[in-house]
Amino acid sequence: MPNRRRFLVLTAASLLPAAGRLVRPALAQAATGHASEFVKSLGDKLVAVVNGPGSDREKREKLTQIIDSAVDVDGVARFCLGRFWRNASPEQQKRYTELFHQVLVTNITSKLGEYQGVRFTMGRAQQRDDTEVVATVVERPNNPPTNVDWITSNTGGSPKIIDVIAEGTSLRLTQRSDYASYLSHNNNSIDALINAMRQQIAQAG
Instruction: Kindly indicate which of the ranges 37-45, 48-56, 141-149, 152-160 contains the residues binding another protein, using the contact rule CB under 8 A.
Output: 141-149
Nearer to another protein, 46 or 103 (CB): 103
Within 52-166, where are the H helices? 56-70, 73-81, 84-87, 90-109
Amino acid at 122: M
85 binds another protein (CB under 8 A): no
**Sign, Cα dihedral of 49, 50, 54, 57:** positive
Rounded CA separation 42/84 (Å) = 31
150 binds another protein (CB under 8 A): no
Nearer to another protein, 16 or 137 (CB): 137
For residue 132, count CB atoms less than 10 angstroms from its CB and return exposed for 0-12, middle for 13-18, buried for 19 or more: buried
97 binds another protein (CB under 8 A): no
Contact 179, 103 (CB under 8 A): no
Sheet holding 131-139, edge to edge: 119-128, 131-139, 146-153, 160-166, 169-170
Nearest distance from C-beta of residue 33 to another protein, angstroms: 15
Nearer to another protein, 6 or 98 (CB): 98
Q: Which helix (H) or strand (E) holds 166?
A: strand 160-166
Contact with another protein (CB under 8 A): which of 21, 24, 114, 121? 114
83 binds another protein (CB under 8 A): yes
Rounded CA separation 59/110 (Å) = 11
Q: Which of residues 159-198 bind another protein (CB under 8 A)?
A: 165, 167-170, 173-174, 177-182, 184-185, 193, 196-197
132 binds another protein (CB under 8 A): no
Instruction: Kindly indicate which of the ranges 1-9, 41-49, 91-99, 138-146 contains the residues binding another protein, using the contact rule CB under 8 A.
Output: 138-146
Residues that bind another protein (CB under 8 A): 83, 103, 107, 110-111, 114, 124, 126, 128, 133, 140-144, 149, 151, 165, 167-170, 173-174, 177-182, 184-185, 193, 196-197, 200, 204
